[in-house]
Chain A
Amino acid sequence: MKSAALGVSVLLILAILLVIIGNIAIHGAKQVTWEFISQPPRDGLMAGGILPAIVGTAALVMLMSIVAVPLGVATAIYLHEYTPAGGSWIATIMRSAVANLAGVPSIVFGLFGLGFFINFIGRNIDRATQPPGEVLWGQGSLLWAACTLALLTLPTVIVATEEALRTVPQDLREASLALGATQWETIRRVVLPGSLPGILTGAILGISRGAGEVAPILFTGAAYYLPFLPGDVTDQFMHLGYHVLILSTQSPDVEATKPLLYGTVFVLLALTFLLNLAGVVIRTRTRSRLAR
């Protein structure tokens, strides 16, 4: 009885997933032409391609990774390697902070980014470096959006990295220390190489989550429409997820933009899927290498 109910619910979920993905794939795939991915939008977003959104998303994700991965990995190393197990109060506070961060709704991150990065940090940089009245840093931009997204991604990277560090046997740390290595040498030469695939997997999963988020970038730099590609970290940018939102809510003729919408969703989904796939591939390759 129980297992029957379980089977039904599993089938149901699979069916829903299949319908959604199938729907998007069928309608979206045929929209993806060379023109679609190589041209900017035209005619008030009613025609043309999504090139600026693709480039903007890619730039955002890249910048975000540069911020989030080193910070997350460093935090995880501190938490796992330098604080005694269950001992220090700093670690306890940091761990609960990380856990809480993961539970914060993404729109709150967007508001935080606006308040902290743009209005506080950006404005102050402007005040110090720009002529009066000029605004360069104190507005939405690729950089601040990336920083905001990085905050969102951080818990995933930290937790995944800690998990990866935990898979390195204590024996190996002891072996290294017993040979007269310092703790940092041990981390650099034994712990990190041993946990690198796990860290990469975690980072990619975190990034792929960040890539699809729209809420945090709403107020921090995503643009409605830009005819040009972003050239600097202070530029605003278009974003695939945001573009989907715009197409589906702001278009004068929603029915007419439907094909474009499908195409954009398809590209976004494909991008996320590829990132996840990379994570899975790296993980299985690590597993098989460890099993050998």
Chain B
Amino acid sequence: MRHFDREIEHLKQLLLRMGAMVEDAINESIRALLERDTDAAQRVLDSDNAIDQMELEIDQHTITLIAMMQPAAVDLRFVAAAMKITPELERVADLAVDVCERAIELNREPPLKPLLDIPRLARIAQDMVRQSLDAFVRRDAALAREVIARDDEVDLLTEQSFRELLTYMLEDSRNISRAIRLTFIGKYFERMADGATNICEMVVYLAEGKVIKHQHESD
């Protein structure tokens, strides 16, 4: 194995470790919300610093790699993808923190209603993040495109959940603060799914050298 390949492999391991931390954070945030588990929420808040540090470490590593190894072609795309994926992951982690902050606030009051759309939304977003990382590791453009396709479903669910929450707010003004918090949470999960979509766009770039961001692919 080339010495350079080992460096690339190391970078990949760092990214996977960060991905795992982010997945954990999402998972915990969902639990904090659904099981009204304030401790779980607190754990996510505490772990965010580690994820931020991870982002710095990966940044440092990719810059060093460019300076020392002068990657080219697929290697260069990999390093570039890594540089763009890392902040996406960090943002997803921040969103999980936001979910937890809202969950902590919600947990102080009785539940507004049984949650239906938001758990589905959360699971799909979580799934998309996980699959986007899988696609990255395997450099699997087909899987990435599947993930991107699911974004429409997420948008639909977010809209649907918002409408439902709107009826609660119209019904009784005491519901408004909780309903707004839940609306935010829906939005957070939707943006996690957007993060996964962005990651997948980088995966397609990595695997095929093709830029699909801001373009309408006809396939």
**Is A in direct contact with B (CB under 8 Å) within the complex?**
no
Q: Chain B: residues with CB nearer than 8 A to chain A?
A: none
Q: Chain A: residues with CB nearer than 8 A to chain B?
A: none
